[in-house]
Structure 1
Amino acid sequence: MPAPEIDTGPYDLLIVGGGINGAGIARDAAGRGLKVLLVEQDDLASHTSSASTKLIHGGLRYLEYGEFRLVREALIERERLLAIAPHIIWPLEFVLPQKGSPRPAWMVRLGLFLYDHLGGRKKLPATRTIRLDGDAKGDGLKPGMGRAFVYSDCWVEDSRLVALNALDAAERGATIRTQTRLTAAHRTAAGWRATIEDADGARDVDARVLVNAAGPWVGDVLGKAGSARNDRGVRLVKGSHIIVPRLYEGGHAFLLQNADRRVIFAIPYEQDFTLIGTTDLPWAEAPGKAAISPEETRYLLDTVAAFFSRPVSEADVVWSYAGIRPLYDDHAANASAVTRDYVLDVDGDEQRPAMLSIFGGKITTYRKLAEHALEKLAPFLERPGTAWTAAAALPGGDIAGGDFDAFVTGLERTYPKLPAALLRRLARAYGTRVTTLLGPDTATTPADLGEDFGGGLFSAEVEYLVATEWAKTADDILFRRSKLGLHVPPGTAERIDAYLAKPSA
């Protein structure tokens, strides 16, 4: 979507941060008729929100820390999100081996019983028990693994979830500006005056409410807002993942329990790979781009070696990523035990315009967080509107009956000359919006999609992402709007950046 010119306001909300919480609040607020400006210093989802384990889940291990409210809310949201975005969210079975578990089987089974019932599960199957040595779900594991529990959660294309929330917000009237940062803000008689800066320079805008959804930079934004209260703590925790060639067949994932009580996921990834993660390490440096450490890589590889029969070494790691999670500081001694619940801090009253700062949270609960945020801000808004997002499909998610496979079959009939694998990938990324990208011509062939960059990426898709989803660089396209960076030949990023530099792109 082309970036509209920024007017000076006043906006109802100025949202700082283009991760999942900022985009979710922008969508909810715009749908209530509020005037919204969202600014993001980099690309949408360029930090924490694209560095997750890519799950919509209740968080089974959080039950161990007594996070019942959070788990229940997340489980309820799991099925809501599956219904409104069936193209980028789908069910995923998890196999939880018990051999060598630091938790007794009765404790795990009790936790899974609660997990099955806390959130009013309707669509996903209940937990069951299997013997790994005699079940296909044990293929790839070392022999003698014994019994395992099988439960269900959901997968999500995390960075696409952010982009689609931002797109829906923009289509409902919000102004979304990437590569734009907040440099200062102060209260006025009517609200906030903020200075924002992009490649064209600095300008001032006015807003009734300032929303600090800056993730790891939440403290930095507080520091830029004059007279803002800064008595809430954020605790930064780094989580890292590795990608290796596929370790096993089947569409299920594994939840692996280490002797130190940490749990590690092994998840099918991009057809040809397995995603392994995550670690939990305190992060004491300034927020920014994080990278996996050699120690984290070795920890994850050691976990793989303990469970899987296929040897894996550092040479097998085809990609890695790390993110900094901005968790609310509840003073837990162990980084793994720090609460994943969110805290919404409103600094304002009848005399002082409000600033809402977001601490903590997880991708699964972003929609509910946005509702709660707007509830808290209602006293500061002239027309706060009402909640509406619980059943409203995200862009492309209006698939009949949520039946993704039937939708793909229909696309194959409409575009018989396009490869089935290409159509399925595009359907996963864009849902019903895929026809906007491909056009209505039933004779479309791959050659009609423009320049072929390899890996199933054509210039028609590049141009769609630039025009519609704020993509500006090869990295935006290859690793956030998609994960095609794992599939394209060497030199593709340079070719895309050269293509984007052309005036016609």
Structure 2
Amino acid sequence: MAETVDLLVVGGGINGAGIARDAVGRGLSVVLCEARDLAAATSSASSKLIHGGLRYLEYYEFRLVREALIEREVLLKMAPHIIWPLRFVLPHQPHLRPAWMIRAGLFLYDHLGGRDILPASEGIRLSKHSYGQGVKNEFDKAFVYSDAWVEDARLVALNAVDAAERGAVLHVGTKLTQARRDGGHWIGTLTRPDGSTFEVRARALVNAAGPWVMDVLGSRLGINSDKRIRLIKGSHIVVPKLHDGDQAFILQNDDKRIVFVIPYQGKFSLIGTTDIEIQGDPGKVAITPEETDYLCSIASRYFQKSITASDVVWSYSGVRPLYDDASSNASAVTRDYVLDLDTAEGGAPLLNIFGGKITTYRKLAEHAVEKLQPLLGNSAKTWSGMQPLPGGDISGADFEGFAKEISGRYGFLPPALAYRYARAYGTRMATMLNGAKSLDDLGRDFGGGVYEVEADYLKRVEWAGTAEAMLWRRSKLGLHVGESTKAALEEWFAKG
């Protein structure tokens, strides 16, 4: 008979990884399975923001916005290497939203969740401010406020690493084929990539499968639910940068939607997102020409550099599994989460996760585990916001000071490479470099600043099993390296 654990978590996105971390940190035994790769879907296809959601105020989502605003600063302190402050510039167009409405919204935004790290909002004249560089002259009045940036897929990976180091068992690339209740337990059948299977016996099951939450419920658990999700596709494009400076822009459109233009990977601008309801397989989504034209048109409306589809160097699409609140407009569907606990007349608990957003993943995880604790005989207190994520134990959460220290400590590294390592791995950079004293100690040079020591670390510690996982999820090196580097890495990973 399979060993019994407290919790079987299905799904290796941000919610599944966050729940696994929270639960194991409270002394529960945890197994997590992910059919493909960590952050393989929605959690690596976001706008990369830790934000309160300024526009959600228009839909009176005050509890969600407050929770998210409070979480911004918690997460900034937990992972200052992969999360950092970002100023947003909102050029004003009075026919879309009057100035008084924006001021009122920003006043709420400044005060609803409290601020310790981030500066307050302000009004500026773009013609007299450096933030106006690259913006068309017709836009002068603007509002500026603060949120934060996150390396979204790395946030998932670091939660998973922390969960594993605290005792959770993760099976990445392993699918839950079916599960059934057996008295007070769940018996889950898991299938490895080679087709072999094994069973996990758990006292409770968490369905954190994101866009596949209903598929897990129906096809693999055989349960009918009256809950529903709406699959909302969001697409982004990446183009050569449209402006200098570290500030981002939030652009209003005539359809009342907003689009972000965010500095990305040093030499690009990330533009998104769209909101399109879809049917069918959420794993087979891609940007359409109409979405590309939509995003290019909005950016070109505001910036001096006009862009078209031919300027796009990369695009990606993700599906947000939003809880169906019967809104007629996809943009108005709640981004809040719903935790559906099913005990089936005293049977083994099943917790289904509907909706959610990356900013509030940690609170979602807390609430999820707290729902299960009484049923599992566990009363341990919340802890996850008080402990840094792997690599985040940087003194005073001062990343720039840390990066300066690193450049001195590893003088043999080119400055750009040292900074990238510091950003990606924080204090775990020392573990990854494994005592290296020269470039020769980094192993094979795959080109483009990619060395074997990094590939080996990501494979051993962060479950990167393919070149794609390394280049597009554990990092965004895919935007920077050539085809020869990609081919060499594919060959290296294929050798096992």
Q: TM above 0.5, one fold?
A: yes
Equivalent residue number for residue 446 of structure 1: 439
> TM (normalized to structure 2)?
0.98
Question: Across the two proteins, how many residue pairs are aligned to each other?
Answer: 495
Alpha-carbon distance between aligned partners in 1 of 2:427 and 2:284, rounded to the nearest angstrom: 34
Structure 2: state its 5+ residue gaps.
none
2:486 aligned to which of 471, 483, 493: 493
Residues 468-496 of structure 1: per-residue CA shift (max 9 Å, x gap): 00000011000000000000012322210
Alpha-carbon distance between aligned partners in 1 of 2:284 and 2:5, rounded to the nearest angstrom: 31
Alpha-carbon distance between aligned partners in 2 of 1:99 and 1:337, rounded to the nearest angstrom: 21
* Mean CA deviation greater in 158-167 or 186-195: 186-195
Write out aligned runs for 1:241-320 (5 A): 241-320=236-315
RMSD: 1.2
SS at match of 1:288: helix
Alpha-carbon distance between aligned partners in 1 of 2:288 and 2:483, rounded to the nearest angstrom: 25
Whether contact under 8 Å (1:451, 1:458) holds in the other structure is yes
Equivalent residue number for residue 236 of structure 1: 231
Whether contact under 8 Å (1:99, 1:146) holds in the other structure is no
Alpha-carbon distance between aligned partners in 1 of 2:95 and 2:190, rounded to the nearest angstrom: 51
Residues 108-131 of structure 1: per-residue CA shift (max 9 Å, x gap): 110000000000111100001110
Equivalent residue number for residue 482 of structure 1: 475
* Mean CA deviation greater in 412-421 or 325-334: 412-421
Alpha-carbon distance between aligned partners in 2 of 1:224 and 1:314, rounded to the nearest angstrom: 39
Alpha-carbon distance between aligned partners in 2 of 1:305 and 1:373, rounded to the nearest angstrom: 43
Alpha-carbon distance between aligned partners in 2 of 1:453 and 1:55, rounded to the nearest angstrom: 31
Are positions 1:455 and 2:448 aligned together?
yes
Write out aligned runs for 1:285-364 (5 A): 285-348=280-343, 351-364=346-359
Alpha-carbon distance between aligned partners in 1 of 2:371 and 2:34, rounded to the nearest angstrom: 23
2:25 aligned to which of 21, 24, 31: 31
> TM (normalized to structure 1)?
0.96
Are positions 1:139 and 2:133 aligned together?
yes
1:105 aligned to which of 89, 99, 110: 99
SS at match of 1:377: helix
Residues 368-408 of structure 1: per-residue CA shift (max 9 Å, x gap): 00000011111221335221111110000000000111111
Alpha-carbon distance between aligned partners in 1 of 2:220 and 2:35, rounded to the nearest angstrom: 16
The residue type paired with residue 477 of structure 1 is M
Equivalent residue number for residue 128 of structure 1: 122
Residues 418-452 of structure 1: per-residue CA shift (max 9 Å, x gap): 111111111110000000111335xx233321222
Alpha-carbon distance between aligned partners in 2 of 1:360 and 1:190, rounded to the nearest angstrom: 27
Whether contact under 8 Å (2:218, 2:224) holds in the other structure is no
The residue type paired with residue 206 of structure 1 is R
Write out aligned runs for 1:55-454 (5 A): 55-99=49-93, 102-200=96-194, 201-226=196-221, 228-348=223-343, 351-441=346-436, 444-454=437-447
Residues 236-292 of structure 1: per-residue CA shift (max 9 Å, x gap): 000000000011100000000001100000000000100000000001122213110
Alpha-carbon distance between aligned partners in 1 of 2:181 and 2:81, rounded to the nearest angstrom: 42
Shift of 1:350: 6.0
Q: 1:226 to 1:426 in 2, by over 3 A?
A: closer
SS at match of 2:230: strand
The residue type paired with residue 368 of structure 2 is A
Alpha-carbon distance between aligned partners in 1 of 2:102 and 2:433, rounded to the nearest angstrom: 47
Shift of 1:9: 2.4
Shift of 1:226: 4.1
* Mean CA deviation greater in 288-297 or 316-325: 288-297
